[in-house]
Amino acid sequence: MPLQLAISEILEPLRADPARSAVLFDIDGTLAPIVRHASDAHIPEETRKQLIAIAKRYGIVGCVSGRPAVVARQIVGIGSIAYVGNHGGEVLAPSAADVVVDRRVAAYTERVSAFARAADTPAAAQLRVRLEDKGAIVAFHWRGAPDEAAALTLIEMIEQDAQAAGLATQRGRKVLEVRPPVRIDKGRGIVQLIRRRHPVAGLYVGDDVTDIDAFRGLREVVGEAAVCLAVSSEEAPPELLSAADAVVDGPAGVREVLDDLLR
C-alpha cells in the first residue's frame, strides 16, 4: 500500500469526529522549511491557508515550538489557534493576549541569560555561532557556519560549561539549547493544552528529537487514537522516525497531510 494511502487511513478517526479531535504541528522543519537563520523562517501562504481551514473544522488546533509562543504566532500568522512555546514552557491560548509561563521555568530566566551573555564571545561570532535569546531558554545555532567542525567544537565547550553551571542542555538540528534544570518538554505542554478538552483523537507532526516528547504527550491523552507523524529530511533523527506511526516527506508531505485532513 502506498505510504500516503496508509496515512490517509490512520487519519480517518480525526476526520470522523473533527470537533472532538486535536491537530498539532511543530513549526520549523514541519510547517516551515528549515532556513540558515532562525529569523528568516516563514510559513508558505498555501500552508497558512490550509491551517486556517483546519482551525475552522477541528476542535483543537495548535503549533508546538521551541520558539517563544508569541514568536511562533508571528511566524504562523494565525491568531485563532493555540501555541505551545519554548518546548512546553509556555502556552498562548487562541486569541489570547497573555502567555502563561511555567513559573518554575521563569525563575531561571536571569540565570540562563547571564550564561548566554558570557558564552556569546567574539570567538563565537567569528565562527558564526549565533545566539537566539528565547527568555528562559537560549539557543546557539551553527547552521551555515563556514567551518562547521570548529563551530561544533565550540558548541561542545558551551554545552559542557552549561552543564557544569547546573543548567540543562538539549541538542537539535544544528542547534544547542541551554535551559533551566527543570522538566521542559513538548509533551508536557501538549498535555496542559488539551487534557481538559478530552479529545477523542489527535495528530502531531514533527521533525526533530524534541518531537518524540510531543508524541508521548499526545499518546498520554488520547491513547491509541493518537497519530504521530515524523517529517523526513537528511537530518531527521533515526529515533524520531522509529517513534512515529508513519513518515511524510518534508514540509511538502505535511501539506498533503493538511489536504487529507480537509477531505
Exposed, middle or buried, 74 (CB in 10 Å: 0-12/13-18/19+)? Answer: exposed
Cα-only R_g, the chain: 18
3-101+184-261 belongs to CATH 3.40.50.1000: yes
Q: Residues 9-22: what's their mean pLDDT?
A: 96
Residue with cell 533551566: 180
3-101+184-261 and 104-179: same fold?
no
Q: Are 84 and 91 in contact (CB under 8 A)?
A: yes
How high is the pLDDT of residue 235? Answer: 86
Lowest mean pLDDT among 40-44, 197-201, 253-257: 40-44
Q: Residues 67-82: what's their mean pLDDT?
A: 95
Q: Are 70 and 85 in contact (CB under 8 A)?
A: yes
Percentage, residues of the chain above pLDDT 70: 98
How high is the pLDDT of residue 134? Answer: 87
Asked if residue 123 has pLDDT above 70, the reply is yes
Say which DSSP state 248 is in: E
Residue with cell 512555546: 85
Q: Which residue has the higher pLDDT, 1 or 121?
A: 121
**Average pLDDT for the chain:** 93
The top-level CATH class assigned to 104-179 is alpha beta
pLDDT one-digit tens code per residue, 163-182 = 999 999 999 889 999 999 99
How high is the pLDDT of residue 40? Answer: 78
Asked if residue 37 has pLDDT above 80, the reply is no
pLDDT one-digit tens code per residue, 86-103 = 999 999 999 999 999 888
Sorted by where each begins, the domain ranges of the chain are 3-101+184-261, 104-179
Asked if residue 1 has pLDDT above 60, the reply is no
For 206, phi then psi, to 5°, come to -155, 170
